[in-house]
Chain A
Amino acid sequence: MKITPEMVDYISELSRLRLSDSEREKMTGELEQILAYMDVLNGIDTDGVEPVSHIFPIKNVLRDDVVEASFDRAELLRNASWADTETFLVPKAVD
C-alpha cells in the first residue's frame, strides 16, 4: 500500500502529533515499510486458525465488586501537568 504525505497528515492529526517536514518524510517511509510487512503476514494461510488478541493462555481475569478507598486527590493531581486543587485542567475543549 502506498502511503502518501496526506495520509501521514491525517494520522498525525488523529494522534494529535505535530510533525516537522523531515519527520513527516521519515514517517511516510517507515509506515510504508510497516504496511509492507503486514502484506507478508497477509500472505500466510490462516484458515482454521483462531484470531488471537491476547498472547498469554489466560482468560476470565475478574475481580469482585467490592469498594476500596479511592486515591488521595492531591496526590493524583500532582501527576497532572495542569490542575487546580480539585480538578485536572486542560485548554478549553468545547465539544
Chain B
Amino acid sequence: MNLCVGCGEAYTSRPSWSTFFWPERISLLCKDCEGSFHRLKDSGCPSCMKQIGSSICSDCLKWEKTSYQGVLEKNVSLYSYEPFMQDYIARWKYRGDYVLGKVFEVEFQKLYYQHFQDTKYEVVPIPLSAERMAERGFNQAGELAAFTRAKRKDVLGRKHGEKQSKRSRLHRLTAENPFQLLSEPPQYAVLIDDIYTTGTTLRHAAQVLQENGTDFVAAFTLIRG
C-alpha cells in the first residue's frame, strides 16, 4: 500500500510484469488522481497542439506574421491545462513539492521519443532566474529535461523579471527577451518547459538559439495551456 502523492489517500497499485521489471514505473498516484489528467489528442493544431480544429490555429498564424516567423518549428505537449492540473502544477512549482513532478516521468519520456527519436536532438531546458531558483530550489523545466534522458545542454540564462503567469497576453507579447546565451548552442535543439500558454517564452528562447546558429528549434512541453 502506498500514499498517493496527489491527494494523500492510501491506495494499492496493481502489479504487472512492467512494474516487476521496472519498479520505478509503479504509479505514485491513485486511480482517481491519475484519471484527472487529460491527455491531448493529436488531432489539434499540428504546429502547437491547440485543441481547436485540425488545421494550423489562428494563434500560430498570427505568430508567422511577426518577427518571430519560423523561429519555432513546432510544439508538442502531453496534457491539457484543466483545473485539476492547474492546482497540481501550482503545488509542484510554487509550493515546491518536488515529488509531484516525478509522476510525469514515464509518459513524458515516452512521448518525447515518439516525436524526437533521432539522437541528433539535444534538449535545452528553459532556465529560471537566479532569484527564482533560490526561492524554489529546483527548476521544473530542468526536471522535465532530465526525464527525457536525452543529451542535455543548459545553454540559456535568464534575467530576473515578473512571473509570466502574472501577465496578460498583450503584456507577454510585447515584453523584452529575458534570455541570453551562456555557451555554444546545439545544432538541433528541443526546448523543454512545463507549459505552453501563448508561446512567447519559448519563442524568445528559440530566437536566441537561432540567432546563434541553431538550425532547428522545436518545443516539448508538459502542458498546452
Same complex: no
